[in-house]
Structure 1
């Protein structure tokens, strides 16, 4: 049998997908590195970063980044900012970060409505980093702190910053929501004195459980194919909901055959048990990884508006 990475390597070699430079025309050019030097726990030899374009010529971009050595946030500024901000963590099964479908397209939808968006390109556990399972959370915490540190220059209210995550990026976002105060790296500057707590969390078809109903690929990359029971608990966000967890909205399709809907339902139950303001929206269809690319006749296409209404009830100005 050939695994997905082998298939991808063959596809790249055959020209079915294209290794490309980033950015391309139309991409934002304001990209902020997360760390002033090498990221925490860097290996002696950093991964060789690359971007891969999966879309056929002439079709909307469908790029991803992998082998990430220099994590960053890409800034999308609206023409008329309303003070709201969202940190976006795209998915990719912890082997890649899907740049366009769940990142840039969502950011553009938000900026059209006055929301300043920041697309997170986080490091992946398999890059040889020390404490590999904490690497995505290190980057998410650092990104949130940098956004707060630069709030005035971004024209955002530091009390109105949400996190939004998709699939494995949903695990990044959920981990930030429940472990924002956990010390996972040594502070490097004044920004690290700021809170990493999101004010609202939006989790779309998120990877949550590392045990029952786990997405095997994400779990294998993060904590290994045969993880210790303690690691299964430690890296399942539903086990760590506390009174400091922000209000959370969950979006999932009942027919998701990649990340079972039980991930969102389990997280919702954990939030309710702690009396955290929460909503879960389970749509009849949509599959996995739909982002903004569903047909208008699919009711799951309503999810962005549902997010904004939920965020408005928890401090956002719309």
Structure 2
């Protein structure tokens, strides 16, 4: 009982500090990723226009690192609690955040979300000087289906197209690290059926299933990863994170895997749960190891 009381007390102190740090944090205007229309766009509605909403870290705390946030929602919607609150938390660490509005099913299938994530990383990297961001410290964070977007760009990035007329397309889309929170990873046995259908359609080919089962796409060039899951997740089975971690280990890619005994899917930052809410603190420590919440030395 004393342990639980202490945990709750510490959580209260940490949450109060976090909320205090969020004061006066506001988003800039969303950036349209393709001003002349996204590739494969089927209309001109909001759902056809991927955007990136910046949350700039306070100047006095800014570390020069940036992380793109991909909310989950089964590739049908974007969960609010996995967007702005996460960006605000990252700001308290001195990290500039960008919330990605990527294209969704059933209106869009692969490769639209991958294209949007790649464009988001290229945009931040191309404008790094304007935004006082280190182009070598640009990460991506995703929840649930947003975790699939994250692991997809982490395993399907490219170095850019040197001859592209658009200068943004000339830079690399590789993230420097990935944060995966109860992520969808596979399109096989342990797939989240809804996400799979929205991303790949009703009858995807075996080639497409393999391509988007990201545990099968890991190489030694895949960026370091931080993973969080609960063992009893009944929506996206924990095997998604376990298999991805196994692939990272085989490839020699640094990773940290955090499996909590129990908890619902979709817990975001953990809310008031004294156990699940510890993952942001663990992640903060991991980010420090990778130089994301400290100023880079010149």
TM-score of the superposed pair, with normalisation by structure 2: 0.85
Residues 148-167 of structure 1 aligned to structure 2 (within 5 Å): 148-167=125-144
Q: Give the equivalent residue in structure 1 for 2:231.
A: 254
Answering whether residue 51 of structure 2 is matched by residue 76 of structure 1, we say no
Indicate conservation of the 8 Å contact 2:55/2:98, yes or no.
yes
What is the DSSP-based 3-state SS (H/G/I as helix, E as strand, rest coil) of the residue aligned with 2:83? helix
CA separation in 1, counterparts of 2:252 and 2:196? 28
Q: Give the equivalent residue in structure 2 for 1:3.
A: none
Indicate conservation of the 8 Å contact 2:72/2:142, yes or no.
yes
Kindly provide the CA deviation profile for residues 92-114 of structure 1, in whole angstroms up to 9, marking residues without a partner as x. Answer: 1001112x200100000111221
What is the DSSP-based 3-state SS (H/G/I as helix, E as strand, rest coil) of the residue aligned with 1:41? coil
User: Per-residue deviation at 1:300?
Assistant: 1.9
Answering whether residue 170 of structure 2 is matched by residue 193 of structure 1, we say yes
- From 273, 280, 288, the equivalent of 1:304 is 280
Kindly provide the CA deviation profile for residues 235-294 of structure 1, in whole angstroms up to 9, marking residues without a partner as x. Answer: 111111011100011100112111000000010001011010011100012211111243
What is the DSSP-based 3-state SS (H/G/I as helix, E as strand, rest coil) of the residue aligned with 2:94? coil
CA separation in 2, counterparts of 1:188 and 1:285? 50
Kindly provide the CA deviation profile for residues 121-170 of structure 1, in whole angstroms up to 9, marking residues without a partner as x. Answer: 0011422x5xx311000000000000011112222111111110000000
Q: Give the equivalent residue in structure 2 for 1:41.
A: 40
CA separation in 1, counterparts of 2:143 and 2:118? 17
Listed as ranges, the gaps of 5+ residues in structure 1 are 1-25, 50-67
CA separation in 2, counterparts of 1:187 and 1:102? 34
Answering whether residue 98 of structure 2 is matched by residue 118 of structure 1, we say yes
Q: Give the equivalent residue in structure 2 for 1:239.
A: 216
CA separation in 2, counterparts of 1:31 and 1:264? 31
TM-score of the superposed pair, with normalisation by structure 1: 0.80
Answering whether residue 86 of structure 2 is matched by residue 87 of structure 1, we say no
CA separation in 1, counterparts of 2:152 and 2:160? 13
CA separation in 1, counterparts of 2:210 and 2:165? 29
Indicate conservation of the 8 Å contact 1:85/1:115, yes or no.
yes
**Aligned residues between the structures:** 268
What is the DSSP-based 3-state SS (H/G/I as helix, E as strand, rest coil) of the residue aligned with 2:256? strand
User: Per-residue deviation at 1:27?
Assistant: 5.5
Indicate conservation of the 8 Å contact 2:160/2:171, yes or no.
no
Residues 1-318 of structure 1 aligned to structure 2 (within 5 Å): 28-43=27-42, 45-46=43-44, 48-49=45-46, 68-79=47-58, 80=60, 81-98=62-79, 100-127=80-107, 129=108, 132-181=109-158, 187=164, 189-297=166-274, 299-318=275-294
Indicate conservation of the 8 Å contact 1:181/1:195, yes or no.
yes
Listed as ranges, the gaps of 5+ residues in structure 2 are 1-24
What is the DSSP-based 3-state SS (H/G/I as helix, E as strand, rest coil) of the residue aligned with 1:153? coil
CA separation in 1, counterparts of 2:164 and 2:265? 36
Across the aligned residues of Structure 1 and Structure 2, the Cα RMSD in angstroms comes to 2.0
Q: Which has the higher relative contact order, 1 or 2, with Cα contacts under 8 A spaced 6 or more apart? A: 2
